[in-house]
Amino acid sequence: MTAQAQQPLIILGSPRSFTSLICAMLGQHPQAYGMPELNLFITDTLREMVDELSGYRQIQLHGLMRVVGHLYAGEQTMASVDMARRWILGRLSKRTTDIYYELCERVGPLRIVDKSPVYSLKREYLERLGEAFPDAYYLHLVRHPLTQGESIMKVAKGLMAILADSIDYDVEPPQVDPQISWFNMQENILDFLDHIPAERQLRLRGEEVLNDRRNGLSEICRWIGIKDSDTAIEAMMHPEESPFACLGPLGAHLGNDINFLRSPALRDGSIRLGDLDVELPWRNDGRGFNPEVVEMALELGYT
């Protein structure tokens, strides 16, 4: 990367943990550039990534195509999607790390804010990310496992949890249970962050950031060393103004959480916290949280 390009701010968290919303908020800061889900670090090369994201997983390329169209064609249209496909095809032999460097230089001197939840699914993805950006900043964004699980189960009747293999096979018949992927992803993140200097990582509960937005955003700004003026904070209160806070053109219409794309503006009212001592509403056997999930939630500050 050139001296102008900055190390990115990476948001790590489970899906449906306010990552889309808070990424878009931070991306409205005059010194930042909020990305949709790039998913670049799931493979070593762009060719491997395109091969892996085939079939129904093609939607995981939408974020990259939207970014390329916006940055290189100045628009997000069907024509820019075609251009983005050619852009990708012309770089298939490149490392995904080099593609990311190119994007960093393209938006420089702004700092990229990226929130691809898939990175937290496997430790190899996080390790690849850490090797590419040894000085990146990491915001670990968490959400209570109850409300996160409820939210996950509302997406296509639990399909997101199924795709993450969040299934309890110890019962008959097996049951979809989002607490499994919640725990696994938090464990991956915490293990990865054990090797990151304390000054380059910050853990926040998403509910508290959104229930006290100005103070939460100001804390993040001071941590990564960008201004937290009233003007900057006010800009971040409008995530709906992000160029990626809406459905994209045919062929690249996603790239972000579908619920966020349909309703990206901040809403009035406070976000509730869940309870750890409950029967899980997505199960039909009366079971509650697994002991390791309760322990993890307590470690993350929930009660």
Look at residue 22 and give its three-state secondary structure: helix
Mean pLDDT to the nearest integer, 236-250: 97
Tokens of 134: 């040894």
Q: Taking the CA atoms of the chain, what radius of gyration do you get in angstroms?
A: 19
The residues with which 33 forms a beta bridge, in sequence order, are 112
- Report the C-alpha gap between 109 and 103 in whole angstroms: 11
Give a three-class secondary structure readout of 280-294: CCCCCCCCCCCHHHH
How does the average pLDDT of the chain come out, rounded? Answer: 95
Give a three-class secondary structure readout of 173-211: CCEECCHHHHHHHHHHHHHHHCCCCHHHEEEEEHHHHHH
Contacts of residue 21, defined as CB under 8 A and 6 or more positions apart, other chains included, come to: 210, 239, 260, 264, 266
Evaluate the CA torsion angle 124, 128, 134, 135 in order and state its sign. Answer: negative
Residue 3's pLDDT band, with cuts at 50, 70 and 90, is very low
**With contact defined as beta carbons under 8 Å apart, do 49 and 57 qualify?**
no
Q: How many CA atoms lie within 13 A of 17 on its CB side?
A: 28
DSSP, res 141: E
pLDDT above 70: percentage of residues in the chain: 98
Contacts of residue 246, defined as CB under 8 A and 6 or more positions apart, other chains included, come to: 261, 264
Instruction: Judge whether residue 16 has pLDDT over 70.
Output: yes
Instruction: Judge whether residue 2 has pLDDT over 70.
Output: no
DSSP, res 167: E
Range with the poorest average pLDDT among 1-10, 89-98, 118-127, 218-227: 1-10
DSSP, res 153: H
Q: What is the pLDDT of residue 160?
A: 83
pLDDT above 90: percentage of residues in the chain: 89
- Counting beta carbons within 10 angstroms of the beta carbon of residue 198, is it exposed (0 to 12), middle (13 to 18) or buried (19 or more)? exposed
CATH topology of domain 9-143+197-270: Rossmann fold (3.40.50)
Q: For residue 120, what are the CA distances in angstroms to 88, 167, 195, 214?
A: 24, 17, 15, 27
The residues with which 203 forms a beta bridge, in sequence order, are 140
For the chain, give every domain's residue range: 9-143+197-270, 146-179+273-303
**Tokens 């019962």 -> residue:** 171
Residue type, 240: E
- Report the C-alpha gap between 49 and 161 in whole angstroms: 22
**With contact defined as beta carbons under 8 Å apart, do 154 and 215 qualify?**
no
Residue 4's pLDDT band, with cuts at 50, 70 and 90, is low
Look at residue 9 and give its three-state secondary structure: strand
135 C-beta neighbours (distance < 10 Å), count: 10
Instruction: Judge whether residue 248 has pLDDT over 80.
Output: yes
- Counting beta carbons within 10 angstroms of the beta carbon of residue 269, is it exposed (0 to 12), middle (13 to 18) or buried (19 or more)? exposed
Instruction: Judge whether residue 303 has pLDDT over 60.
Output: yes
Residue 1's pLDDT band, with cuts at 50, 70 and 90, is low
